[in-house]
Amino acid sequence: MEISKEQIKEIEKFAKSKLHSVHLQHTLESRDVAKKLARLEKADWAIVEVAVLLHDIAKGKKLHAEVGAEMARKFLTTKQYDQRFIEEVVYCILVHEDLDDDQKNLVRTKEAIVVYDSEKIQKISAFGIIKYICGHNDNFKDNYEQTTLKMYQSLKRKYDRIISKQGKEMASDGFKFIKEYFKELK
Ligand SMILES: [Fe+2]
Ligand SMILES: [Fe+2]
């Protein structure tokens, strides 16, 4: 399905209305990652782009993937997108959260894999460290040492959980940086 620039602008506007600045940055940078990965994985860019823009719109709510998928379905239905297209997008959003190895087969379509991997690759970076600190401010105040270790483990887990080979390769420099960064911490 062809999506116009105006439609993308409208979706961006909707996403921006739902996200605070850090999450918006995550979303927009995840789209840049997804653009490269979608090309490498030969995934449908229209589905990937819309899904990646909307994947975290319910961030902050309990079960944000499920709630966000429903919000996206409603929004896209109101805007009269094709029903099959909507379901593909909704599916990508539904399965974007971190999964353990034995659950990875839940992510079935190429497009969902690209969205899933891209939003992790984006966090395996200097940005990912800031995002983690923003989300765990109180934990750092309670226990610096333990939370620092947890931050490393969380970022490593994201790297481990990337599904596609190409995605793993794209994240490798970021993961090297993360390891170096933590070596510097006392
Ligand atoms: Fe998310
Ligand atoms: Fe995300």
Please check whether residue 178 is in contact with residue 158, taking contact to mean a CB–CB distance below 8 angstroms: no
Rounded to whole angstroms, what are the CA distances from 179 to 60, 173, 185?
Answer: 28, 10, 10
Residue type (1 letter), 8: I
Is residue 123 pLDDT above 90, yes or no? yes
* 186 Cα: distance to centroid of ligand 1 (angstroms): 30
For 165-175, the pLDDT digits (tens) are: 999 999 999 99
* 49 Cα: distance to centroid of ligand 2 (angstroms): 13
For 131-148, the pLDDT digits (tens) are: 999 999 999 999 999 999
Q: Which domain holds residue 145?
A: 5-184
* 30 Cα: distance to centroid of ligand 2 (angstroms): 8
Please check whether residue 109 is in contact with residue 88, taking contact to mean a CB–CB distance below 8 angstroms: yes
d(C-alpha 23, C-alpha 59), whole Å? 8
- Among all ligands shown, which has an atom nearest to the Cα of 122? 2
- 158 token code pair: 């994201």
Q: Any idea what the CATH number is for the domain that residue 142 is in?
A: 1.10.3210.50
* 65 Cα: distance to centroid of ligand 2 (angstroms): 9
Listed in sequence order, the residues at least 6 apart from 51 whose beta carbon sits closer than 8 Å to its beta carbon are 72, 88, 89, 92, 93, 96, 111, 112, 115
Number of domains in the chain: 1
d(C-alpha 95, C-alpha 120), whole Å? 13
* 56 Cα: distance to centroid of ligand 1 (angstroms): 5
- Among all ligands shown, which has an atom nearest to the Cα of 29? 2
- 104 token code pair: 């990875």
For 81-96, the pLDDT digits (tens) are: 999 999 999 999 999 9
Place of tokens 């994201």: 158
